[in-house]
Amino acid sequence: MRRTISLTLALLLVVSVVAFATGGQEAQEEQVVRFWYHFDDPETALTPLITKFESENPGISIQAERVPWDAYYQRLLTAVAAGNPPDVAQVKLWWQPQLVELGALLPLDSYIAKWDGRDDVYDRIWELTEYTDGKQYLMPLQMVVLYMYYRVDMFEELGLDIPTTRDEFLDVAKALTRDTDGDGEVDVYGFGIRGARGGHDWWGSFVLSSGAEFFDRFGNIGLTTPEAIAANQWFIDLYREHGVSPPTTPNDGFREIVANMQNGVTAMTIHHIGSARGMHDALGDKISAFPVPMGSDGVWTSFGDEENAVFAATDVPDAAFKWASFLAEAENNALWQESSGQVSINKSNANLPQGDLDRFFKATSDSTPFAGVLPAHPATAEFVEAVWPATMQRAFLGEITSREMMETFAEHFSE
Amino acid sequence: MTTAAPYTFLSPALIVTLLIVFIPIVYTISLSFMNYVIWKPNEIGFIGLRNYIDAWADEVFRISLGNTFVWIIGVIALQLALGFVAALILNQRFPFRGVARALILIPWVTPSVITALMWRWMYDGNMGVINDLLVRSGMLERYVPWLAQSTTALPAIMVALMWQGFPFFAVMILAGLQAIPTELYEVADVDGAGIFQKFFRITLPMISPILFTTILLRTIWVANSLDIIFIMTGGGPGYSSYTLPLYSYIKAYRGLDFGFAGTIAVYLTILLITVVTLYVIRVVRTEDRLR
Amino acid sequence: MKLIYRLLFVFLPLALILLFALGPYIWGFVSSITPEGEMYVEGLRYFPRNPTGENYARLFVKIDFVDNLADSFLVATFSMLFGLAFSVTASYSFSRFRFRGRRFLLLQFLVINMFPVVLLLIPLFVIFSRLGIMDTYLSLVLAYATFTIPFSTWMMTSFFNAIPYQLDESAMIDGCSRFGALVRVVFPVAMPGIAATGIYIFITAWNEFVFASVLTSRDVRTIPIALQNMVGQYQIAWGLLTAGGVVSAIPVIVLFFFIQKQLIAGMTAGAVKG
């Protein structure tokens, strides 16, 4: 028995040593840039981009790793906390404050100053991605702007016009919410609200455009003013009072939102270009898009983004920046977007033909001028991931009032 | 027999657990006494019991605590009941018994990712097969958004976990049933004992050690499990399916508040110790009685 | 009469339990052979109009699912051997000896099991990085030992307890050493219990997600990670995912099918005479 145990152990050690040795061998001569990314489609590979980069930059090799989205940020933080992050990683803007406060990111200003591609990236993107300390830590990678999808056929059937204000929107949504097969149950809902994680974009389009703001120009929290609470109440009422969103709303995530749209349960919802292909394939000409309606105090829609960050712990900062900037150059960025289905950050890619998805690209560019982001605050990540969904759901279920909901948010950001 | 013998037999397991479990645990416990929000490096420091006191003022903590009780007791009861029935049946003789025993394991060998997504898909409020079946059979009038209502979300997840976990009870109880010498039943038959008498006089007492241990270990496992809740509802709607491990996870990996997350973990451990203490005492007593 | 009894108390409940156990899979299977477009657009259907094997083909052709299966198999097997090897002697000791600190030690094996896995992650990550064993089979086998050793120790202690002590004594009277008694007499009798514990470790390791997602990345990629990889930020490749679930369950089912014969064989050896 003892012998078996020690044999097993020896075998185990041998196996793992071999696995380790083969894993770490290449690292000797050339510079290796470890890169983390996430793509929705498991089959898309970065291989063509990596091949191109490696042939243009001899001596640097890219070790790319696709990390599943649900585990992405947790793994990134664990790796940072353990002092072993990747050299470059795809990141979201709302993670930036935490990562910067952790000292995890390398400021890239001096690199960007020497980089030719700077002017080909939209100025608005540089503005939005700059951190509050005035430094640039992120290399832009892709962008999206959220807009309203709607069912053209249903609008025509009911003789509805595209709503441009919040009040018009409510009227349209009410009209679209109806019983189409005569069984006495509502079977089409006017507006699909995402009540689960990620739904702050839906909320923001109506609440942040009507008097609520995270921080006003004096840096005070502007979420609990009477206007803000009223705007929030208006949004809650879409579900509770007017019932223009399906009963499943509090738990609906992206998948439900899109499925409901595709199989005709909802007539309008908000999302970005990333889902345009699927919508078009499912519904063809029956679906189109318009910018989100105006609130009582302007228009707001969410700017969705991805950037690449270079980590401060890297041993190969120059090579790491080269890779991050390579991906932000027009030709390569266009290749990247073919996999991600999103929008290039380069001005020179603006006029690429989009074929049958033109109407969605138009809605994107029409919405860009008023697209905004959540505050660059370390509490934003938890707000997006946990606080917003839980609090919104409680308000939807009537467990808390609009005021209590906004006070919870205010408290979260004031800590 | 030398007095060293028991320790020799024990030492390999002890040394390994000491290295890979004990050290991390000490680290975690030490965090729970600190203000340790890793994005506020300047404020990191020892704060004594503050986290422990603050927890009680935190509504989410209280909700999670209550849900954790419901979760543990509910899931264990469901898994045990169904597992027991399954084991008794699988211990009968019937054709293709081996196949049936293997098939029943399927839920248990299903990765949690799949379990959670599969059940979420079945519970779907618009296209879910469960709603469709219930409406078709007339048990429901209209589709119910199972995971979107605070009253049904947690029970719905508990059913999914029952599905995943009951085969474990079945296997363990089955192994216990097989260890019962058939002679005991033969003697009972001679004495003219009925089926219930045999069950309560022979079956139950004979498998009770295994039953107790299984329940105990499973309780700890269920109490700590969060992946299925996380994927099915993320704790929602609202906080209606938050449990302590989920809250700890969210505090740690969303808020980066490792101090408070550690505190929640320690409370969970204290809760578990309380819940199982009676149990352990009982197990130890039973086992000493058998000596 | 006997037939009705069997029907009512064996076959009917058996059928219901099997239906419950397999139902989600049957539904998952239906989804996996449903073309993606058909699934969302046409609503609920109990069988797809145009069944497709495309998802299974993608699984093996475009995604290295065979490699994932191999990784999972190796990790699960080593975890099982490692866990059992370390806990068998410990359980024997707990079951057969009365010694100072026994209760305390037995309890500590229980208590350490109560700590939420998520909070072991960072310390283990740091330790394993220092040891240079990240992304190897060894890192997962060690990480899984954090719960397999305490768990198996408890599990097997109760199995050993169910074996009459007289068995060891008579073996030792016949001239066996303590260790000899364990190997030659107690082992065979405890085989069903050991096998059950082994299966437990195997399956837990096979399905484990949290540690695997943090401790491994490129070189080692187990099934749950590969499956999680199919869940995107925006889309869930539902058909692909269920196909993966179906495929990943098969090896374990087959394995158990053989081992459960072993379970019974251990019994029919007839050693449980007390």
- What pLDDT digit, counting tens, does each position of C80-139 carry? 999 998 888 898 888 888 888 888 888 888 777 777 776 687 778 777 877 878 788 999
Chains with at least 3 CB pairs less than 8 angstroms from chain B: A, C
Q: Which chain B residues are within 8 Å of C6, Cβ to Cβ?
A: 94
DSSP per residue over B89-131, as a string? Answer: HHTS--TTHHHHHHHTTTTTTS-HHHHHHHHHHHH-TTT-HHH
- For residue A284, give how far its alpha carbon lies from the nearest alpha carbon of chain B (Å): 22
Both structure tokens of C41: 């657009």
Mean pLDDT of chain C: 78
Q: Which residue of C has its CA nearest to A92?
A: C233
Under an 8 A CB cutoff, do B237 and A74 touch? no
What is the model's pLDDT at position C262? Answer: 57
Helix locations, A89-242, DSSP H: 96-101, 109-113, 123-129, 152-158, 166-176, 200-207, 226-240
DSSP bridge partners of A165: A294
B237 prior amide bond cis, ω within 30: yes
Tokens 């499973």, located at residue = B218
Q: Which residue of C has its CA nearest to B168?
A: C200
| A243–chain C Cβ distance below 8 A for any pair | no
Third-level CATH fold of A147-301+363-414: D-Maltodextrin-Binding Protein; domain 2 (3.40.190)
- For residue C1, give how far its alpha carbon lies from the nearest alpha carbon of chain B (Å): 16
pLDDT tens track, chain B, 291 positions? 456 778 888 888 888 888 888 888 888 888 889 888 877 777 778 888 888 988 899 889 999 999 999 999 999 999 999 999 999 898 888 888 878 888 888 888 788 888 888 898 888 877 788 888 888 888 888 888 888 888 899 999 999 999 999 988 888 888 788 777 778 888 888 888 888 888 888 888 888 877 877 888 788 888 888 888 988 888 878 889 999 988 988 888 777 788 888 899 889 888 888 877 777 676 666 656 554
Under an 8 A CB cutoff, do A12 and C78 touch? yes
User: CA-CA distance, B271 to B55, in Å (whole number)?
Assistant: 14
- For residue B227, give how far its alpha carbon lies from the nearest alpha carbon of chain A (Å): 11
- A154 C-beta neighbours (distance < 10 Å), count: 22
Residue A5: pLDDT above 80? no
Backbone phi and psi for residue A228, each to the nearest 5 degrees, phi listed first:
-65, -45
What is the mean pLDDT of the segment spanning C154-160? 80
Please name which of C50, C238, C47, B234 lies closest in space to residue A258, comparing C-alpha atoms: C238
Apex B246 CA angle, B241 and B250, nearest 5: 115
Determine whether domain B33-290 maps to CATH 1.10.3720.10.
Answer: yes
Is the distance from CB of A268 to CB of A258 less than 8 angstroms?
Answer: no
Task: Put residue A34 in one of left, alpha, beta given phi > 0 → left and psi -120 to 50 → alpha.
Answer: beta
- Report the top-level CATH class of A29-144+304-358: alpha beta
What is the model's pLDDT at position C266? Answer: 43
Decide which of C43 and C4 is more confident. Answer: C4
Q: Which chain A residues are within 8 Å of B250, Cβ to Cβ?
A: 382, 385-386
Q: Which residue of B has its CA nearest to A102?
A: B39
What is the model's pLDDT at position C155? Answer: 78
Minimum-distance CB partner of C257 among B102, B113, B284: B102
Decide which of A87 and B145 is more confident. Answer: A87
Under an 8 A CB cutoff, do B254 and A382 touch? yes
- For residue A115, give how far its alpha carbon lies from the nearest alpha carbon of chain B (Å): 30
Under an 8 A CB cutoff, do C89 and B13 touch? yes
| A18–chain C Cβ distance below 8 A for any pair | no
User: CA-CA distance, A42 to C61, in Å (whole number)?
Assistant: 12
Under an 8 A CB cutoff, do A15 and C138 touch? yes
Q: Which residue of A has its CA nearest to C63?
A: A43
Mean pLDDT of chain A: 85
Interface of C with A in 131-190 (CB under 8 A): 132-139, 141, 179, 182-183
DSSP per residue over C207-255, as a string? Answer: H--HHHHHH--SS---HHHHHHTTB-SS-B-HHHHHHHHHHHHHHHHHH
User: CA-CA distance, C166 to C159, in Å (whole number)?
Assistant: 15
Under an 8 A CB cutoff, do B9 and C264 touch? no
Secondary structure (3-state) at C136: coil
Chains with at least 3 CB pairs less than 8 angstroms from chain C: A, B
Residue A280: pLDDT above 50? yes
A→B contacts (Cβ < 8 Å), by residue, are: 70, 73-74, 77, 81, 97-98, 101-103, 185, 195-197, 246-252, 256, 259-260, 263, 265, 378-379, 381-382, 385-386, 389-391, 393-394, 396-397, 399
Query: How many residue pairs from chains A and C have C-beta atoms closer than 8 A?
Result: 121
Alpha carbon A125 to its chain's center: 14
Minimum-distance CB partner of C41 among A41, A66, A282: A282
| C41–chain A Cβ distance below 8 A for any pair | yes
Both structure tokens of C215: 């401790």
pLDDT tens string A210-228: 888 888 877 788 899 999 9
Compute CA distances A299 → A205, A211, A223, A367, A371, whole Å. 7, 10, 17, 9, 8
Is-same-fold flag (A29-144+304-358; A147-301+363-414)? yes
Whether the CA torsion C212, C213, C216, C222 is positive or negative: it is positive
Please name which of A349, A124, C250, A147 lies closest in space to residue B102, comparing C-alpha atoms: C250
Query: Any residues with CB less than 8 A from the CB of B227 and at least 6 apart, and which?
Result: B112, B113, B116, C209, C210
Q: Which helix (H) or strand (E) holds A22?
A: helix A2-24
- A226 C-beta neighbours (distance < 10 Å), count: 9
pLDDT tens string C57-71: 777 776 778 888 899
Question: pTM here?
Answer: 0.81
Full set of structural domains in chain C with CATH: 21-52 (no CATH), 63-268 (1.10.3720.10)
